């Protein structure tokens, strides 16, 4: 394990390589699921595909058994924000499906999420997905050595606020990640720049905007996992696991390491 900074785990280059291996499994799994998900499937069908794919690549699901969670994926549909349990729910045309996936390679985790719409959805829902994914990349672009975690939070919030009246979920945050799925520091999706932990080499964060079409207020269902919007409006969730190197940013859960999106944002790529 790397050094600790205010409780945050700092990884060595060799440990970052393991995290990239885990992240690549996650990225490839999400690509597969985004291609395969379709009306008529159950959320459990997605979960089985994911577990087979993760194990077939020599990795272990991060979520399965985590604090008792019963699935390989979190599959959250429509007004479900996060932590939806895979089961017998049949997906339908017009559903909005958030798929959150984690994998472990030699003790190190990768974690990412994507939200997809099945067929035609209202223009406001399409815009929700576009803004939420854009907020993820705005947060990633604000991640830099010498900066602060609050810079990421502020960038996510500013992106959403500047383009919409959508709600930004306050009760759930991004997080540090490494030998545990969730580590310090928390990475809120709103906040002030220049605050929080200073970003140093070896820090790895999961950045994950959760944005709602209506109010951000939410409740947890009786299953003690599934989080839903209180007003039953649609939610979206996008996530990547990211680190910063002296050369630039490395998006460990993006199949291309983030090169294309970072180039579009004018941000240097620092992967290997």
Q: What are phi and psi of 149, to 5 degrees?
A: -60, -35
Are the CB atoms for 32 and 53 separated by under 8 Å? Answer: yes
239 marked ligand binding residue: yes
Residue found under tokens 């294309």: 260
Tell me, what DSSP letter sits at residue 143? -
88 marked ligand binding residue: no
53 marked ligand binding residue: no
Q: How far is it, in rounded angstroms, from Cα 114 to Cα 134?
A: 12
Given the DSSP bridges, would you call strands 227-229 and 218-220 parallel, antiparallel or unpaired? antiparallel
175 marked ligand binding residue: yes
109 marked ligand binding residue: no
Q: Give the list of residues 6+ apart from residue 118 with CB closer than 8 angstroms, or none.
A: 37, 38, 39, 91, 92, 93, 94, 95, 96, 97
Q: How far is it, in rounded angstroms, from Cα 182 to Cα 205?
A: 9
Q: Give the list of residues 6+ apart from residue 205 with CB closer than 8 angstroms, or none.
A: 143, 149, 152, 174, 175, 176, 177, 185, 187, 241, 242, 243
159 marked ligand binding residue: no
111 marked ligand binding residue: yes
Q: How far is it, in rounded angstroms, from Cα 144 to Cα 61?
A: 29
Beta strand residue intervals within 72-163, DSSP E: 73-77, 80-82, 96-105, 108-117
Q: Residues marked as binding for a divalent metal cation?
A: 100, 111, 175, 208, 239
Q: Residues marked as binding?
A: 83, 100, 111, 175, 182, 208, 239
Q: Residues marked as binding for substrate?
A: 83, 182
């Amino acid at each position: 394990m790397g050094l600790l900074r205010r409780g945050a785990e700092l990884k060595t280059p060799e440990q970052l390589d393991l995290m990239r291996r885990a992240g690549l499994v996650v990225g490839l799994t999400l690509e597969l699921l985004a291609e395969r998900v379709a009306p008529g499937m159950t959320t459990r069908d997605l979960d089985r595909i994911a577990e087979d794919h993760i194990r077939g690549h020599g990795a272990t699901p991060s979520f399965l058994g985590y604090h008792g969670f019963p699935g390989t994926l979190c599959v959250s549909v429509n007004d479900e924000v996060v932590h939806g349990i895979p089961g017998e729910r049949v997906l339908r045309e017009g559903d909005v499906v958030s798929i959150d996936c984690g994998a472990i390679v030699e003790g190190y985790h990768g974690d990412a999420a994507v939200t997809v719409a099945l067929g035609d959805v209202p223009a406001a829902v399409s815009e929700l997905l576009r803004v939420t994914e854009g907020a993820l990349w705005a947060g990633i672009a604000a991640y830099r050595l010498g900066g602060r975690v609050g810079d990421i939070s502020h960038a996510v919030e500013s992106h959403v606020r500047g383009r919409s009246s959508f709600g930004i979920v306050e009760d759930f945050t991004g997080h540090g990640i490494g030998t545990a799925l969730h580590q310090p520091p928390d990475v809120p999706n709103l906040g002030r720049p220049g605050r929080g932990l200073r970003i140093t080499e070896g820090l790895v964060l999961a950045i994950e905007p959760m944005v709602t079409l209506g109010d951000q207020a939410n409740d947890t269902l009786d299953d003690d996992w599934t989080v839903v919007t209180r007003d039953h409006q649609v939610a979206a969730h996008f996530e990547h696991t990211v680190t910063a190197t002296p050369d630039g940013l490395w998006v460990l859960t993006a199949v291309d390491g983030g090169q294309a999106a970072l180039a579009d944002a004018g941000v240097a790529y620092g992967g290997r």
